[in-house]
């Protein structure tokens, strides 16, 4: 085991899989000579050469479209989009092309494409760089969506994504790249999709989160513990597939739930989580499910982002409201 940051764990997964499978290649803007805007691909060009680490122009649609063609040719491409917010420029390649190619071909073609894209606030980036738009892609059937919160999951889920026969959108939390550290196995392992993880046990309220919001939920749980409120934290890990049974089980044990995400409230993936809880755990609920999210506004200038993204205080307040509803 080695202690790594998230970006180191991601780089470790890329190096491991490119060494293991010579069909795996990386493409994207600045992934070669620069080593990626956050250095996630640092050293890959020197190790694997220009045929497998390809610098692309600033053209997200061309990056994703090229990855689709390479996959249909028998390769296993990993496309890097520098920021998830920029993927809007490739939406017409991701949702109506990449995501549905297996269905369109009646199962004749595998499409093993992984799209890596960082996102999320707290790092004072300019406009469009921090947007949390994962919910847009949850409504693109055929595409899997992975949202790791820690280095162990980042490596294991990325190896699982690269080996998947279908396209995967792998969303990496900007805040976690260098601030979140943890022990990561040096060898081969995968984390299966569709298996949520309880990162903290509790008996009074369940806080459901994914990606960087998991650390936020855990900090809120610390504050709540000092007040005598025992909070369980559930990390969804993947939005598609969603661990419906694990979600229902975690909520049923407390009867009260708070869902936390960085995206705007309306039609955020939290709405899908709440709907699933209502379908699968309704008779276990002792209070309405609370949601904590960003307001329905465009992501602000970095001077105001602390007022925009959810903070510990808002999660704690929501948990208090949920717990105070009489049983």
Q: Which residues, at least 6 apart from 194, have a Cβ–Cβ distance to it below 8 Å?
A: 238, 241, 242, 243
202: three-class secondary structure by DSSP: coil
3-state helix, strand, coil in the chain (%, to 5): 40, 20, 40
User: Following DSSP, what letter does each residue of 113-142 receive, concatenated?
Assistant: -EEEEEE-SSS---TTSS---HHHHHTSTT
- Whether residue 297 contacts residue 264, with contact meaning beta carbons closer than 8 Å, is answered with yes
Which residue from 237, 214, 228 is spatially nearest to 312, judged by alpha carbons?
Answer: 214
Active-site entry in 129, 155, 256, 291 = 129
Q: Would you state the structure tokens that stand for residue 8, as one six-digit string?
A: 């180191």
In the residue annotation, 129 being an active-site residue is answered as yes
- Whether residue 291 contacts residue 265, with contact meaning beta carbons closer than 8 Å, is answered with yes
Q: Would you state the structure tokens that stand for residue 151, as one six-digit string?
A: 């280095």
- Whether residue 272 contacts residue 139, with contact meaning beta carbons closer than 8 Å, is answered with no
The residues that are catalytic are 129
């Amino acid at each position: 085991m080695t202690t790594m940051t998230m970006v180191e764990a991601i780089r470790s997964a890329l190096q491991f899989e490119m060494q293991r499978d010579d069909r795996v290649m990386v493409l994207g803007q600045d992934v070669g000579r620069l080593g990626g805007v956050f250095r996630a691909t640092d050293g890959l060009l020197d190790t694997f050469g220009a045929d497998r680490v390809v610098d692309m122009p600033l053209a997200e649609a061309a990056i994703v479209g090229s990855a689709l063609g390479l996959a249909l040719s028998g390769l296993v491409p990993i496309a890097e989009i520098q920021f998830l917010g920029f993927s809007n420029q490739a939406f017409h390649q991701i949702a109506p092309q990449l995501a549905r190619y297996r269905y369109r071909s009646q199962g004749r073609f595998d499409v093993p494409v992984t799209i890596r894209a960082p996102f999320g606030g707290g790092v004072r980036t300019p406009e469009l760089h921090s947007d949390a738009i994962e919910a847009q892609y949850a409504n693109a059937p055929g595409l899997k969506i992975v949202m790791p919160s820690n280095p162990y999951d980042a490596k294991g889920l990325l190896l699982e994504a690269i080996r998947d026969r279908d396209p995967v959108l792998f969303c990496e939390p900007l805040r976690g790249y260098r601030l979140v550290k943890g022990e990561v196995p040096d060898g081969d392992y995968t984390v299966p999709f569709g298996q949520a993880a309880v990162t903290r046990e509790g008996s009074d309220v369940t806080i459901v989160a994914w990606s960087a919001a998991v650390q936020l939920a855990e900090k809120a749980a610390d504050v709540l513990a000092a007040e005598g409120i025992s909070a369980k934290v559930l990390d969804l890990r993947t939005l598609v597939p969603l661990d419906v049974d694990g979600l229902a089980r975690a909520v049923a044990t407390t009867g009260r739930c708070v869902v936390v995400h960085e995206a705007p409230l309306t039609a955020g993936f939290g709405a899908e989580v709440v709907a699933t809880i209502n379908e699968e755990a309704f008779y276990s609920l002792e209070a309405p499910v609370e949601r904590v999210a960003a307001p329905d506004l465009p992501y602000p200038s970095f001077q105001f982002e602390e007022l925009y993204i959810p903070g510990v205080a808002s999660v704690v307040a929501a948990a208090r409201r949920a717990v105070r509803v009489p049983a």
